[in-house]
Amino acid sequence: MDSLDLEVLKKCSQWLMEGLRCELVTVVKTWGSSPRPPGSSLAICEDGGVIGSVSGGCIENDLIANVRANGIFNLLPTKVRYGVTAEQAHSFGLPCGGTIELIIEPLHAGSGIDTLLNHLNEHQLVERTLNLKDGSVSLSTTTTVSFPTSDDGTFAMVFGPRWRLLIIGAGQLSRFLAQVAQGLDYHVTVCDPREEYRSGWSLPGVELVHAMPDDVVLDMRLDGRSAVIALTHDPKLDDLALMEALKSDAFYVGAIGSHLNNYRRRERLKEFDLTEQQIARLHGPVGLRIGSKTPAEIAISALAEMTAVKNNALLPH
């Protein structure tokens, strides 16, 4: 499962390869309430194909209707605004008089979509800068995630995995967790030194490593945009990795297991050089209580809790 940004870019590449005209529409700025944040994108093909989203649906309908009525003939990018007046805001489904600014970019061979996709396949962060005056594009790798920026002459946006997730254990639950996490814009690494679990385990776009989990945690140099979930039920694999993860800047560290197993895990972690505050960062049993039983449901539960922590949302006790 790809993130929505990646799906949009791949579809644009396909349309261009087929010789079809298409436009990439990107949210540049918003004022007031807006259904979609800056950086959200939509692609429209001259044959009526659409992928992505920039609002709740009404703005998409207007953009699509314009392409169907007039085709795609613009050669240069243009900026447009919706919701400037209260009447427009109501008409286009923007709540509370919100305003949204978009860049409509006609794509061509020089738009660098395929080159960008090649970089993204290598899990690289890439800044794409669009010259609004002549439609030219430049690409550069970066290590910094930033919001889209625009002035009178350029529009710059960073593409690539915004977040990292390390999953310890290559079981069935890991597969569901990795698939959905990719759709949430995570670069996913699955670590399992057990050959019997790695054998036959593969998922496109997911990195599978066989080193000891605690070594992988150290090698990844986890930062505030990183998360770790331990799923093996094996203290020899989970505990040392959790110890290193809890000492890192990772925004989320979780482990599967029952309440009793979680209590025992915390008691074991007290034997390491961890503070009470560091141990308290551990989310276990992992996930929100939604009555989950199957691997797919447990994966949704875990990612829901992880997303809440990422977004600083209040979690139930």
**Scanning the structure block, which residue is given the tokens 């007031």?**
32
**Scanning the structure block, which residue is given the tokens 């209260």?**
86
Q: Which amino acid is at 11?
A: K
Q: What pLDDT is stored for residue 122 in this prediction?
A: 80
Q: How do residues 139-187 score in pLDDT, each as one tens digit?
A: 999 888 778 898 879 999 998 877 899 999 998 999 999 999 988 889 8
Q: Domain limits of the chain?
A: 4-159, 163-310
CATH, domain 163-310, list 3.40.50.720, 3.20.20.80, 3.30.70.270, 3.30.930.10:
3.40.50.720
Query: 305 is written with which tokens?
Result: 């809790």
What b/e string do you get for 124-137 counting C-beta neighbours within 10 Å, with b at 16 or more? bbbbbebebeebeb
Cβ atoms of 208 and 170 closer than 8 Å = yes
Phi, psi at 259, each rounded to 5°: -65, -40
pLDDT digits (tens), the chain, 317 positions: 556 778 899 999 999 999 999 999 999 988 776 667 888 899 999 988 999 988 867 788 888 888 888 888 888 999 998 876 666 656 666 655 678 899 999 999 999 999 999 998 887 889 999 999 999 999 999 888 778 898 879 999 998 877 899 999 998 999 999 999 988 889 899 999 998 888 878 888 889 999 999 999 999 999 888 999 999 988 899 999 999 999 999 999 999 988 999 999 999 999 988 999 999 999 989 999 888 889 999 999 999 999 999 988 887 76
Starting at the edge strand found earlier in the chain, the sheet holding 154-159 runs 137-142, 125-131, 154-159, 149-150
Label residue 189 exposed, middle or buried (CB < 10 Å: 0-12, 13-18, 19+). buried
Mean pLDDT (the chain, rounded): 88
Q: Which amino acid is at 197?
A: Y
Rounded CA separation 18/203 (Å): 28
The half-sphere exposure of 164 on its side-chain side, counting CA atoms within 13 A, is 20
